[in-house]
Amino acid sequence: MTKQRTFETILMENKLISDEQLKQIISYAHAVGIDMFEAVLQKKIASPDAVMMAYAESIGIPFVHLADTSVDEEVAAQIAPMTARLYSIVPISIDHGHVLVATTKPLIPDIADELRMMFNLPVRCVICTPAELGDAIATYYPRETARMVKAERSEILLPQPVSKTSQQPVEPMNGEKKKDRFMKTFMVFNFTFAFTFLVPYYLPFPRWIGDHTLLFLFFGIFFGGIAASVTWRTLSR
């Protein structure tokens, strides 16, 4: 059984990187916290195709050129644009009972399980270059579509504000209702006026306040008007 070679070994064997460059790449990858193949890509030491082919070989996953691969649009359409962009994946076909998913690195178990439940099939990855993956995502999952789906989901998930006026539409009043509202308002005004004017007037208060008939008359009209206004608005709802 052939022992699987490391990414660094494949780079050195294919003369894609020198010893000094390898040391620099290892130091850079550790400092930034990224994978070795990503560090090599960022430093542009070798061509993306050569780097990703070496990486795919090191992890035992097939490498594909998406430009030369026929993407099944029906399969690609089975995941949401936001999912494709979030996970940087493109399902390309169904092959021997597996969903082939193009990506730049192996899927973590949670994402693989999510895709397996979406397709009801096991998932198998193929490796491609970041540029080709980006082009495929832009083709099959445009940003405009992703924004529209996100907005639609937000409208569904978020509670919609409901105005008080829209809860109970007000029907126009007929003549009988207007008359009834006027009579009730008039009665409230009279009762409030009488209570505010007459009760203090006949109680002992005037003896120490003085004879202020006009003052009590003003209070009666003032508070009667307030009560009538509140009653009118309440009956108008």
Do 59 and 106 form a contact (C-beta atoms < 8 A)? yes
Q: What pLDDT does 149 receive?
A: 47
What is residue 231's predicted lDDT score, i.e. its pLDDT? 72
CA distances (Å), origin 68, targets 63, 92, 176, 185: 12, 12, 80, 83
Q: Specify the pLDDT at position 173.
A: 56
The whole-number pLDDT of residue 161 equals: 52
Segments of the chain with pLDDT less than 70: 1-3, 144-179, 193, 195-220, 224, 228, 232, 235-237
- Write the class of the CATH domain 66-155: alpha beta
Determine the pLDDT at residue 232: 63
pLDDT confidence of residue 204: 58
Q: What is the pLDDT of residue 145?
A: 54
pLDDT at 230: 74
Instruction: Provide the residue ranges of all domains of the chain, joining segments of one domain with +.
Output: 7-59, 66-155, 172-236
